[in-house]
Structure 1
Amino acid sequence: MRMLAGALAGLLAACTTVGPDYHLPKDSVYARVQQRAPALSNAGSPALDANQPAFTGRWWALYDDATLDGLVEQALAANTELKVAAAHLAQAQARYQEARAAGGLDGEVSATAGRAKISGESLLLTEPLPPFNVADASVSVSYQLDLFGKIRRGVEAARAGTEAAQAAVDLARISVAAGVVGAYLEICHSNHEIAVAEHSVALQQDSRRVAARLQASGRGTRTAVERADAQVALLEAAVPPLRARRQAAGYELAALLGRTPDQVPAVAMQCQEAPQPRQAIPIGDGAALLRRRPDVREAERSLAAATAAIGVATAELYPDIRLGASVGANGLLKDFGEPATQTWTLGPLLSWSIPGRGAHARVALAQAGASLALAEFDQTVLRALRETQSILDTYAEDLRRAAALREARDRSRTAAADVRRMYQAGREPYLSSLDGERTLANAEANLAGVEAQLSQDQVRLFLALGGGWQPVEAVGHGAP
């Protein structure tokens, strides 16, 4: 026993964990961004606040719309994509528990009894031996010594995989919330654009009736009537695509809520005016953005798991050592348990597959996997910064475009009112008044289109900013 204890002490003293310890790479893009903390530009737009940290909680509450709030909450509770992500997380958590349970103390109990006959010649006898009853029972325990850290690295990899799966759940949450908000706003804008388009059709139909009366009285031509008919048809043709867009948005909303296409919420389809954020959108800086975005955290945790996998593959090059002990009995059933049948063993159990090129290739494969994970991590960081700044610039330019179209709409409204008064005073013909109304309708249609685009820009911006899942955790928090 003393020799065994000494051998055990020597083995434990020699314990090491092979493979690289994970730390956030200092040369990664993420680390450089955290040191330099680049600002996110608001492109000179007062609707974007770069001096305030981004809204990390329920960002859709900035719209202050009770219907929208309710739809998002329903989606977060019933969405099938979230259920899939949650199932993947449960799988990852089970793998983590399995990895933690690996190694350590194992036990086994076995017992057999039967009637047997053995060969006399196997015992160098010339006479046959009679049949007899035999029994065999044993209790054995073994303890795996994780001398080279294979189990510890496996636990590290499984833990990082679980954290990556949690980040995927967070990413799914903000994607679902953004999808609900986007679909709802699309319905609202579509209804508004349909109303504007139908108003334009009505105005053109009035123009057509005037042209027909002029022709009937001999003061107009057939060409003018046909031109008016063509304009009515063109304007009517613009309405069905808007209705189809509204229906498609309704079906998308139903799917996000875990419903079938015939279960589109009626309260959403009735929206006539899209809500707007009640304050400037806070955007913060680039360093905080990366700490907040779940896709960046998922990529970083995948890198941690890939790094731990190098240690797992490297540990395969070394022996597997266990300490084992067993006690039992083996012999004739009638003598079972007597001292003559008792057995026991105690000692180390060593197994080692001499590593060949295949084992070394698996180490190289794991190292290549870690290099790939680092490259993908850097790519995710750069993509996050690029797409966020691109959306900020697009939103700012669309805001300027909307301001110009709003001014054009206001001037068209003033001009239309002036021409209408002149017509009522008998100083302008009716067609001039209709032309003014048509110009106003076109300006309102153009403005309605860009306002719909602005709402989608807002959703894309909130999605890029990465808020709406849970309080921010630092990337690399799971590293040892």
Structure 2
Amino acid sequence: MNDRRRRMFMLPLAACVMLSACASVGPDFSPPSPPPLPSAAFPADFGARSVGLVPGTVDTEWWRSFDDPALTSLIQRAWAANHDIGLAAARLDESRAMLRESRQGFLPQGSAEVGHENRRRSEVETPLGQSRRSETYRGAIDASWEIDLFGRVRRSAEAAQAEAGSREALLRGVQASVAAAVAATWFELNGLDAELSVMADITQSQRESLHLVEDLVEAGSANALDRLRAEAALRAVEVVAPELEHRRNVAFNALAILLGETPQTFVTPASSIARQTLEVRSITVGDPAALLARRPDIEAAELSLAAATAHIGIETAGLYPQIEVQGSIGFVAGSLGSTGGSSALSSVLAPLFRWSFLDTGRVRARIAASEARAREALIRYDQTVLRALEETDNAFGAFSTAGTALQLRYQEASTTQQAADLARAQFSHGEGIYLDVLDAERADFASRRALVVARTNQRLAIVSIYKALGGGWVTCTRADVDCAGASGDSEGRIIGFVPAP
């Protein structure tokens, strides 16, 4: 190629390169507008007002506020071994690899080839005076480069980057869900242990009552009906323990699976059943705008919308020509010693213009499909935001209800315990009837068990709040990495543990 022809080719090529730096067909992504949000901080204008919920930075490591080293250890173990987290991390690695591959589209692609051919021709196909045996050495480096004139490569990289970001957000969401699930299961397990302890006390008390009635029957101060009632009350209490044991076994197995272990080999850390009361003075809940920016599922939905928008540009680029430059440089020689000479050198530089103008119907159909997927992604984003707001409002309501119920259960337990003690004392001194004792004990036992359940529900409500607020995650994809979350704000944490009455 002479200089004149080279200039005639290079000038248009340079112009195409300059145009490709700024041209991209298809719509540019812009973050969607969120739905109308409360103007004030949570939760005054967001559902019912709840005592103990205040504005401020959400505590990321919220589980440390329970002052339970066993819970912290369980969450860290789950982050390192949970299978759902492992799957999400593998999907993230896959999307990051695809992102690296898509970015290679900006660079030339090429390959190298070296070959040797030793051929023996027949007499018929061999010209006169030439040898029937020929030897050829070939070598070449081939390269091609797509000039991204209409942004197909650029949009592909945008889509891959958005998809990788969405997978990363989903990983954080799985980590937050696993942390909440571990905490909820741990608190449920502790609550069932506390219930079993209460039922053991109740069973022992009913046995003592049965022995007392039997003594009174022998002394003539009670009748056989009283003894039957006392025995029936004991059996009614004893039948509860197997059900609680089954529920505890289910919770134990669930906790083992969350930590990636088999129930047969899993051993729970020691827990303190004695300290069951948790006074919550304040929980920082942020504001609606921060919720939308913090929740991983909302971030993942927004990035999925960005990827779907970029795919519209990828398909739209199919309506326009594709320009590619191909080149090759190498050698062709008849002997190994001649491969380094200038006479063996060969080169090719060829522009390629490709345009499927007869295939525009299919291309436009693919564009329409991409636009429909983008509308679907936008609807899914709006749906995710609304569900996040619903989940948050429900969590605030559950927290308020749990706190109120716990206070009432304290009052109920205190009253029924006094009534049961008084009824037993009167009956042991020959005053009143045993039916009054049974009624008082049933109320006492039911209130004691309900108090334990209310304490568990309070903890579960706190877990639900932090899960709804998007707290409790770090990017941890390797088992040998310490999965300690980011330090949270110490102000407004759950504080003030007080002993149970």
TM over 0.5: yes
**How far is 1:219 from its partner?**
5.6
The separation in 2 between residues aligned to 1:180 and 1:241, in whole angstroms, is 22
Matched, 1:17 2:21: no
Q: Is the 8 A contact 2:163 2:307 kept in 1?
A: yes
The residue aligned with 1:405 is: 409
Q: Is the 8 A contact 2:41 2:286 kept in 1?
A: no
The separation in 1 between residues aligned to 2:47 and 2:380, in whole angstroms, is 28
The residue aligned with 1:155 is: 157
Q: Is the 8 A contact 1:145 1:322 kept in 2?
A: yes
- Secondary structure at the aligned position of 1:108 is classed as strand
Matches within 5 A, 1:78-97: 78-97=81-100
Deviations 1:32-74 (CA, angstroms, capped at 9, x unpaired): 449x56743473432x32x322523100011112222222222
The residue aligned with 1:376 is: 380
- Secondary structure at the aligned position of 1:262 is classed as coil
Q: Is the 8 A contact 1:82 1:172 kept in 2?
A: yes
Cα RMSD (Å): 3.0
Moved more, 324-333 or 91-100: 324-333
Matched, 1:310 2:312: yes
The residue aligned with 1:416 is: 420
The separation in 1 between residues aligned to 2:310 and 2:125, in whole angstroms, is 53
- Secondary structure at the aligned position of 2:324 is classed as strand
The residue aligned with 1:442 is: 446
Q: Which amino acid aligns with 2:349?
A: L
**How far is 1:217 from its partner?**
5.2
Runs of 5+ consecutive residues of structure 1 not aligned to the other structure: 473-480
Deviations 1:248-268 (CA, angstroms, capped at 9, x unpaired): 222222222222212333434
Matched, 1:98 2:101: yes
Q: Is the 8 A contact 1:203 1:437 kept in 2?
A: no
The residue aligned with 2:112 is: 109
**How far is 1:216 from its partner?**
4.6
**How far is 1:163 from its partner?**
0.8
The normalised TM-score by structure 1 is 0.86
Matches within 5 A, 1:117-132: 130-132=132-134
The separation in 1 between residues aligned to 2:117 and 2:77, in whole angstroms, is 64
Deviations 1:92-150 (CA, angstroms, capped at 9, x unpaired): 11111111112422233223222336799999x89998342233332333322111111
Moved more, 336-345 or 374-383: 336-345
Moved more, 380-389 or 201-210: 201-210
Provide the aligned length of Structure 1 versus Structure 2.
465
Taking a change above 3 Å as real, the CA distance of residues 339 and 448 of structure 1, as seen in their structure-2 partners, is closer
The residue aligned with 1:5 is: 10
The residue aligned with 1:476 is: none
Matched, 1:345 2:348: yes
Runs of 5+ consecutive residues of structure 2 not aligned to the other structure: 1-5, 475-485, 488-501
- Secondary structure at the aligned position of 1:111 is classed as strand
Matches within 5 A, 1:235-254: 235-254=237-256
Taking a change above 3 Å as real, the CA distance of residues 120 and 321 of structure 1, as seen in their structure-2 partners, is farther
**How far is 1:17 from its partner?**
0.5
Q: Is the 8 A contact 2:226 2:434 kept in 1?
A: no
- Secondary structure at the aligned position of 2:264 is classed as helix
Q: Which amino acid aligns with 2:180?
A: A
Q: Which amino acid aligns with 1:306?
A: A
Matched, 1:208 2:213: no
Q: Is the 8 A contact 1:149 1:311 kept in 2?
A: yes
Q: Which amino acid aligns with 2:158?
A: E
Q: Which amino acid aligns with 1:70?
A: S
Q: Which amino acid aligns with 2:378?
A: L
Deviations 1:262-315 (CA, angstroms, capped at 9, x unpaired): 233343466454463653222222222121111111111111111111111111
- Secondary structure at the aligned position of 1:102 is classed as helix
Q: Of residues 47, 54, 58 in structure 2, which corresponds to 1:55?
A: 58
The residue aligned with 1:475 is: none
The residue aligned with 1:389 is: 393
The residue aligned with 2:480 is: none
Q: Which amino acid aligns with 1:153?
A: R
**How far is 1:423 from its partner?**
5.7
- Secondary structure at the aligned position of 1:261 is classed as coil
Q: Percent identity?
A: 31
Q: Is the 8 A contact 2:322 2:355 kept in 1?
A: yes
Matched, 1:188 2:190: yes
Q: Is the 8 A contact 1:189 1:272 kept in 2?
A: no
Moved more, 60-69 or 105-114: 105-114
The separation in 2 between residues aligned to 1:121 and 1:302, in whole angstroms, is 66
The residue aligned with 1:469 is: 473
The separation in 2 between residues aligned to 1:316 and 1:120, in whole angstroms, is 52
Taking a change above 3 Å as real, the CA distance of residues 148 and 211 of structure 1, as seen in their structure-2 partners, is same
Q: Is the 8 A contact 1:115 1:132 kept in 2?
A: yes
The normalised TM-score by structure 2 is 0.83
